[in-house]
Amino acid sequence: MNDRTNLRLKFQEEKQRLKTEFKQRVDTVKDELLQELQELANEELKDQIEKVTEKATMIKEEIYAGAKVKTPNTEGFLIPKVIESSLKLWEKMQEDIKNLIKCPISLVSFESPVVYKEGITMNEEQLLKIMKTNCYQCPFTRQDMTKEYYFPNKIAEDLVKL
């Protein structure tokens, strides 16, 4: 009987050790996954910011190119056309920036942007509201959502502050 008790105790200890080890591995993998997701979200936002920057550079170059034109036949026509096209590009760029910094669910500017595990940036308030009312189901992917898999989106937060 004593051997059985010892075996049972050893089994329980080994079981507890394996549970602890498994939990540590899960936490490690979870942390690595969150880090990768944050890097992916940051890269995507950087790409979008680069596109907007390229458009701004293009506008600046067109304005400078138009300002250098001094021929008498085109001066009255070309400069206003360059300015008009520059204004259109500027308006388009402003619209792109506005679309970059608003929540895809509430369609309002970000207040406290967070990135969810699928790489989707949204307001934290909206995310928590979805989790409460939508049975933890992502509105974009229809996958189960968990509160543990989101983190602040610092780039979007800084962009809103500009």
CA dist 125 and 133 (Å) reads: 12
Percentage of the chain modeled with pLDDT above 70 = 80
pLDDT greater than 70 at residue 77: no
N- to C-terminal Cα separation, the chain: 74
- The whole-number average pLDDT for the span 14-37 is 88
pLDDT greater than 70 at residue 70: no
CATH class in words for 103-162 = alpha beta
Task: Please give the pLDDT value at position 136.
Answer: 66
For the beta carbon of residue 59, count every other beta carbon within 10 angstroms. Answer: 18
CA dist 158 and 45 (Å) reads: 12
Helices (H), the chain: 2-68, 75-100, 124-133, 154-161
- The whole-number average pLDDT for the span 29-38 is 83
Among the residue ranges 18-22, 33-37, 85-89, 147-151, the one predicted with the least confidence is 147-151
Residue found under tokens 């070309």: 78
Residue bearing the bigger pLDDT, 64 or 33:
33
Residue bearing the bigger pLDDT, 155 or 5:
5
CA dist 113 and 153 (Å) reads: 5
- The whole-number average pLDDT for the span 17-35 is 88
With bands split at pLDDT 50, 70 and 90, how would you rate the model's confidence at 61? confident
Residue bearing the bigger pLDDT, 6 or 85:
6
pLDDT digits (tens, 9 = 90+) for 101-125: 778 777 787 788 888 777 788 888 8
